[in-house]
Amino acid sequence: MPESMDKDPKVRSRYEGEAERKKKYAKLGAKITDNVPHKLFGLKTTDAEYWGLREILSEDEVDVALTMKQRKWYTEEQLFEMNKAMGRERFDKTLNDLCVHGFVEYDYGDHYDDNGPIPGAPKEKRYRTSYFVPGSAELFNSSRDRIERNPAVTNMFERMTFLPLEHITPMVPPGGDGICSCRVSRAMLGEGCTDDENDWCIQVGDMADYTVETGRAHYIWPRLWTGSPRKRAFRGSRG
């Protein structure tokens, strides 16, 4: 964990490292995460997926979420049938809390075409769980009052953008980066933003070689492996 976040008590969860591990929170966190070691071997109370959920969700919310398959749409009645023992009033409150907190998303059937909403199409709420990022870890941070009540969600969001990549990044071959063609072209049209257009677009493998050799980019990790970057052992595709 970054040192500043590790030592800042304001964003450190009170549940991080708690002595009694609540199994249902660990189970839900492992179900949703795309951090491979955590999905395969489970969560400890020091893991962000665990204490992040502890910060936000009630036990009723966890129980309902555990009945849902990831990224599968459900109607309200389907979810109630799966959680009928909870009773209607308690279930309705729990589902609403899951949506307000940002762990469950909903839509109205996605009935659109190129012209916008399809007239006369049925309109029924559908609910689903998503990933942490993109998904609930972002939505936990999408209202100021939530952040002010639970500052640790900001720490969780940072962790969930980093952890899934930490074991994958070393496999990515050396790459190059260059200007952002979107930013520089829009600036020429007088519609750009104030961002510096340099060093935005990243390429890896053969695409990195192409952009460097044709004067569009420079290597990010020159000489990372023995020999010329153009003769390295691992090659990828454009990124």
pLDDT over threshold 80, residue 122? yes
Q: Is residue 237 part of a domain?
A: no
Residues 106 and 211 in one domain: no
Contact 43, 15 (CB under 8 A): no
Final residue before a domain boundary, out of 119, 148, 166: 166
Confidence of residue 171 (pLDDT cuts 50, 70, 90): low
Q: Read off the pLDDT of each residue in 37-48 and give the average, rounded to a whole number.
A: 94
| pLDDT for position 33 | 94
Residue range of the domain that includes 186: 172-231
Is residue 210 within 8 A of residue 219, CB to CB? The reply is no
Domain count, the chain: 2
Q: How far apart are CA 12 and CA 19, in angstroms?
A: 16
On the question of pLDDT at 111 being above 80, the answer is yes
Answer with the residue of higher pLDDT: 170 or 72.
Answer: 72
Question: For 182-234, what is each residue's pLDDT tens digit?
Answer: 777 777 777 777 777 777 777 777 777 777 888 778 887 644 444 444 433 33
**Is there a single domain that holds both residue 59 and residue 88?**
yes
157 lies in the same domain as 207 = no
Maximum alpha-carbon separation in the chain: 67
- Highest mean pLDDT out of 60-69, 109-118, 132-141: 60-69
Q: Average pLDDT, whole number, for the chain?
A: 83
